[in-house]
């Protein structure tokens, strides 16, 4: 699963724990809140069998928030860190090839915090 979200927090990582164990998770973000706690949450998921990596990209390139998984993609209207705390909209995208290519390009140059 590929996740692009401008802002990531421990709540974001916790939410990703609702995917099946063993899921490979790539999280691309622009800013990380509470980095030490995010690292703790990532380590906990790794200990539960997840393959998760968080990378930080350039904020100037990111605004949209989206999830790509199993040949489908969803555009989310606010950060996953706030998921369930506010009204949220999500739209399934019909064509993901270009979106996935953009993610992969940004992922390749992003850094591990």
Between CA 42 and CA 90 the distance in angstroms is 25
Nearest to 68, CA basis, from 51, 31, 87, 93: 93
What digits encode the pLDDT tens for the residues 58-105? 877 767 788 899 888 888 877 777 666 777 777 788 778 888 888 999
* pLDDT at site 62: 67
Q: What value does the mean pLDDT of the chain take? A: 88
Half-sphere exposure of 58 (CA within 13 A, CB side): 6
Q: What is the mean pLDDT of residues 9-27?
A: 92
71 against 31, higher pLDDT? 31
Between CA 99 and CA 72 the distance in angstroms is 10
Strand order in the sheet with 2-8: 51-56, 24-32, 2-8, 65-69, 72-76, 90-93
* pLDDT at site 49: 93
pLDDT bin (cut points 50, 70, 90) of residue 35 is very high
SS (HEC) of 43-81: HHHHHCCCEEEEEECCHHHCCCEEEEECCEEEEECCCHH
Percent of residues, the chain, with pLDDT higher than 90: 52
Q: What is the mean pLDDT of residues 10-25?
A: 92
Range of the domain at 79: 2-109
* Domain count within the chain: 1
């Amino acid at each position: 699963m590929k996740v692009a979200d401008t802002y990531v927090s421990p709540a974001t990582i916790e939410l990703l724990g609702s995917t099946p164990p063993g899921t490979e998770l790539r999280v691309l973000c622009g800013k990380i809140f509470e980095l030490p706690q995010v690292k703790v949450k990532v380590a906990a998921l790794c200990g539960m069998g997840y393959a998760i990596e968080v990378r930080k990209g350039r904020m100037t390139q990111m605004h949209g928030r989206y999830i790509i998984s199993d040949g489908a993609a969803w555009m989310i209207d606010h950060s996953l860190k706030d998921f369930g705390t506010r009204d949220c909209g999500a739209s399934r995208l019909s064509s993901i090839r270009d979106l996935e290519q953009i993610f992969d390009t940004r992922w390749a140059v992003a850094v591990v915090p």
